[in-house]
């Protein structure tokens, strides 16, 4: 007894799980999707609200809807929708053409959606939440109540008229049937007018031709029809909204082999304007079919063009990415060479200045100035390369605080990140490792992205080296002991000096600069 509460609760949970899995399995069987459930929306025309309209704001947009109880392999999908001005649909067409199936499909899917079931429709379908769904479908003869077909229909319709409101969905099959055609047609129009004036969303099927004209000329009402293939004498079950249907009785009779004389006599009895209207409908349907075929071909070509466009965009993106990579690599290499050259010029300038004035001072100043101008031109070239490289921006947040050794920084001009290896406070520059390149860059061009993790202060190592020999107005070759003039030194600088020197070619930029200043290595291995 003490466990009864828990057992009952577990049974409820299991039932809920079983129900959920059953819905999922059923949805899988129907190849169903989840529709968008919407509220009633004010009707609009050209983007503006329609003042004084009785349109309840109901939304029905069922794309390739399938009747859930028919064989999925044989059922014909239909598109059912209401536009911003329509809330009452009159469906006409031949018997066994699919009018009632379309009507039931709308009602069943509306109820399924509100029961939390997925619908056998294509994605993108939309439905309003109706507070009530009322239907009068089928033969309502009753021997017990002594009711005819017409009386049975009227009994149902009277009841739903009392209960329905603008938040309801009403489905009426063969409205006005079972009595005199003229009276039945007039009664059907009056019923539809009542539902329209009250703003009740309604779908109705009928055989009456007068209702086709009514739907064509009445605001808020629209024709729809089910298709019929007169060649095969079989319905297609396709629903066409916007076009009225025809019964095709005379055409079917002729195709079945009825005496042509009888068929012609019937055609003479039928009003000429009715025959002209039927012929016009045939022309419209043929034109619609041709337009649909053209639309399908255009859609196929558009899809093919989209595939080609996507492929071309991918190829262009690949080419552009390769171009950016080449430009970025070239610019990075040029930046590295320019930084090395700047360092060498500055070091030579300091060495020459520390030696004091000499007779060739103007010459070397002119040479250094020319070299700096050449570097400036190359720097402009690298800036142009930077403008050519259009890479996506960085999303990392820029950190505040000073930049220190080991920090990760972002170099906007190079669109790359790297690690700070050394700082030069006097020149306000830093050595940064960018991939395989080590560059000396102005600190103001660096953006701090990530601080270095410091476990302990690194031990400072001081390298001791001999003082560099000052070249003065002439250079002494350590290998041969001979002296060379400034013009000789200038020629070596512009060659550049390490050309043809295996030792210098394999050294660092600093070693090459030292070699240029001292001439100790190059002189013994070049044509000096």
Residue 156: CATH number of its domain:
3.40.50.300
Select from 270, 298, 317 the last residue of a domain: 270
Q: Is the pLDDT of residue 143 over 50?
A: no
Phi, psi of 123 (to 5 degrees): -55, 150
Do residues 111 and 190 both lie within one domain?
A: yes
Dig out the tokens for 318 from the structure: 């690949």
What is the reported pLDDT for 80? 92
Can you say how many angstroms the Cα of residue 163 is from the centroid of all Cα atoms in its chain?
Answer: 45
Dig out the tokens for 113 from the structure: 């959606």
101 occurs within a structural domain: yes
Strands 221-229 and 88-92: parallel
Give the other-Cβ count within 10 Å of 169's Cβ.
Answer: 24
Do residues 410 and 507 both lie within one domain?
A: no
Cβ(429)–Cβ(441) under 8 Å? Answer: yes
Cβ(416)–Cβ(435) under 8 Å? Answer: yes
Rounded to an integer, what distance in angstroms lies between the CA atom of residue 335 and that of residue 378? 9
Mean pLDDT, rounded, of the chain: 75
Lowest mean pLDDT among 195-204, 223-232, 290-299: 223-232
Rounded to an integer, what distance in angstroms lies between the CA atom of residue 255 and that of residue 248? 10
403 occurs within a structural domain: yes
Angle between helices 272-354 and 509-518 (to 10 degrees): 40
Do residues 245 and 202 both lie within one domain?
A: yes
Cβ(504)–Cβ(512) under 8 Å? Answer: yes
What is the reported pLDDT for 416? 75
Angstrom distances, CA of residue 169 to CA of 42, 165, 180, 400:
17, 9, 28, 64
Do residues 256 and 148 both lie within one domain?
A: yes
> For residue 474, what pLDDT band results from cuts at 50, 70 and 90?
very low
**Domain hosting residue 444, numbered range:** 392-453
- Please report the sign of the dihedral spanned by the C-alpha atoms of residue 457, residue 461, residue 462, residue 463: negative
- Range with the largest mean pLDDT of 268-282, 311-325, 476-490: 311-325
Do residues 399 and 509 both lie within one domain?
A: no
Dig out the tokens for 151 from the structure: 């009386």
> For residue 159, what pLDDT band results from cuts at 50, 70 and 90?
very high
What is the reported pLDDT for 477? 42
> For residue 42, what pLDDT band results from cuts at 50, 70 and 90?
confident
Rounded to an integer, what distance in angstroms lies between the CA atom of residue 113 and that of residue 117? 5
The three-class DSSP label of residue 484 is strand
Do residues 437 and 481 both lie within one domain?
A: no
What is the reported pLDDT for 292? 77
Closest CA to 371 of 333, 390, 344, 402: 344
Do residues 444 and 480 both lie within one domain?
A: no
What's the angle, vertex CA 234, arms to CA 232 and CA 238, rounded to 5? 120
> Phi/psi zone of residue 358: left (φ > 0), alpha (ψ -120 to 50 degrees), beta?
beta
Select from 227, 246, 270 the last residue of a domain: 270
Do residues 58 and 205 both lie within one domain?
A: yes
Rounded to an integer, what distance in angstroms lies between the CA atom of residue 98 and that of residue 105? 10
Q: Is the pLDDT of residue 367 over 80?
A: no
132 occurs within a structural domain: yes
The three-class DSSP label of residue 527 is coil
Q: Is the pLDDT of residue 149 over 70?
A: yes
Rounded to an integer, what distance in angstroms lies between the CA atom of residue 92 and that of residue 174? 9
Residue 433: CATH number of its domain:
2.30.30.30
Angstrom distances, CA of residue 63 to CA of 82, 96, 511:
12, 22, 77
95 occurs within a structural domain: yes
| Helix or strand run (H / E) with residue 64 | strand 60-65
Q: Is the pLDDT of residue 267 over 50?
A: yes
371 occurs within a structural domain: no
Do residues 90 and 185 both lie within one domain?
A: yes
Q: Is the pLDDT of residue 347 over 90?
A: no
> For residue 53, what pLDDT band results from cuts at 50, 70 and 90?
low
Angle between helices 181-197 and 209-217 (to 10 degrees): 30
Rounded to an integer, what distance in angstroms lies between the CA atom of residue 308 and that of residue 300? 12
Q: Is the pLDDT of residue 384 over 70?
A: no
249 occurs within a structural domain: yes
346 occurs within a structural domain: no
Do residues 443 and 481 both lie within one domain?
A: no
Strand partners, 119: 33
Rounded to an integer, what distance in angstroms lies between the CA atom of residue 360 and that of residue 488? 12
Number of domains in the chain: 3
The three-class DSSP label of residue 56 is coil
What is the reported pLDDT for 488? 46
Lowest mean pLDDT among 68-77, 113-122, 152-161, 389-398: 389-398
Closest CA to 274 of 329, 363, 352, 209: 209
What is the reported pLDDT for 524? 38
Do residues 398 and 513 both lie within one domain?
A: no
Do residues 398 and 507 both lie within one domain?
A: no
Closest CA to 188 of 171, 204, 168, 170: 204
252 occurs within a structural domain: yes
> For residue 324, what pLDDT band results from cuts at 50, 70 and 90?
confident
Give 247's DSSP letter.
-
């Amino acid at each position: 007894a003490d466990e009864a509460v828990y057992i009952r609760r577990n049974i409820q949970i299991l039932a809920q799980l079983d129900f959920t899995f059953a819905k999922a399995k059923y949805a899988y069987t129907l190849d169903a999707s989840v529709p968008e459930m919407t509220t009633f929306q004010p009707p609009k025309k050209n983007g503006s609200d329609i003042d004084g309209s009785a349109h309840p704001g109901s939304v029905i947009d069922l794309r390739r809807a399938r009747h859930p109880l028919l064989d999925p392999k044989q059922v014909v999908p239909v598109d059912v929708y209401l536009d911003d001005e329509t809330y009452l649909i009159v469906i006409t067409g031949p018997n066994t053409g699919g009018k009632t199936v379309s009507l039931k499909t709308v009602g069943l899917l509306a109820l399924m959606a509100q029961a939390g079931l997925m619908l056998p429709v294509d994605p993108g379908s939309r439905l309003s939440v109706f507070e009530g769904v009322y239907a009068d479908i089928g033969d309502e003869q009753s021997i017990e109540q002594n009711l005819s077909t017409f009386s049975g229909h009227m009994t149902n319709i009277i009841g739903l008229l009392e209960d329905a409101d603008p938040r309801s969905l009403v489905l009426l099959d063969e409205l006005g049937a079972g009595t005199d055609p003229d009276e039945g047609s007039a009664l059907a129009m009056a019923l539809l007018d009542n539902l329209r004036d009250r703003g009740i969303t309604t779908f109705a099927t009928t055989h009456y031709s007068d209702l086709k004209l009514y739907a064509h000329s009445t605001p808020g009402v629209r024709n729809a029809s089910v298709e019929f293939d007169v060649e095969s004498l079989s319905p297609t079950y396709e629903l066409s909204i916007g076009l009225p249907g025809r019964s095709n009785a005379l055409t079917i009779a002729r195709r079945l082999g009825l005496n042509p004389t009888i068929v012609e006599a019937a055609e003479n009895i039928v009003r000429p304007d009715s025959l002209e209207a039927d012929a016009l409908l045939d022309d419209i349907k043929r034109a619609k079919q041709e337009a649909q075929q053209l639309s399908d071909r255009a859609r196929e070509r558009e899809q093919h063009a989209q595939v080609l466009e996507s492929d071309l965009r991918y190829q262009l993106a690949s080419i552009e990415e390769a171009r950016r990579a080449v430009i970025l690599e070239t610019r990075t290499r040029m930046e590295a060479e320019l930084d090395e050259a700047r360092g060498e010029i500055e070091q030579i300038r300091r060495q020459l200045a520390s030696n004091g004035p000499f007779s060739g001072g103007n010459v070397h100043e002119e040479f250094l100035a020319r070299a700096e101008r050449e570097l400036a031109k190359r720097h402009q070239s690298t800036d142009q390369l930077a403008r050519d490289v259009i890479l996506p921006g960085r999303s990392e947040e820029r950190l505040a605080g000073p930049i220190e050794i080991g920090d990760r920084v972002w170099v906007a001009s190079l669109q790359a990140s790297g690690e700070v290896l050394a700082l030069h406070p006097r020149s306000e520059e830093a050595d940064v490792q960018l991939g395989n390149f080590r560059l000396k860059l102005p600190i103001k061009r660096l953006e701090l992205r990530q601080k270095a993790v410091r476990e302990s202060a690194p031990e400072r190592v001081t390298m001791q080296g001999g003082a560099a020999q000052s070249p003065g107005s002439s250079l002494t070759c350590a290998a041969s002991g001979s002296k060379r003039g400034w013009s000789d030194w200038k020629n070596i600088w512009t060659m550049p000096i390490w050309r043809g020197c295996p030792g210098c070619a394999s050294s660092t930029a600093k070693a090459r600069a030292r070699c240029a200043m001292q001439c100790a290595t190059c002189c013994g291995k070049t044509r000096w």
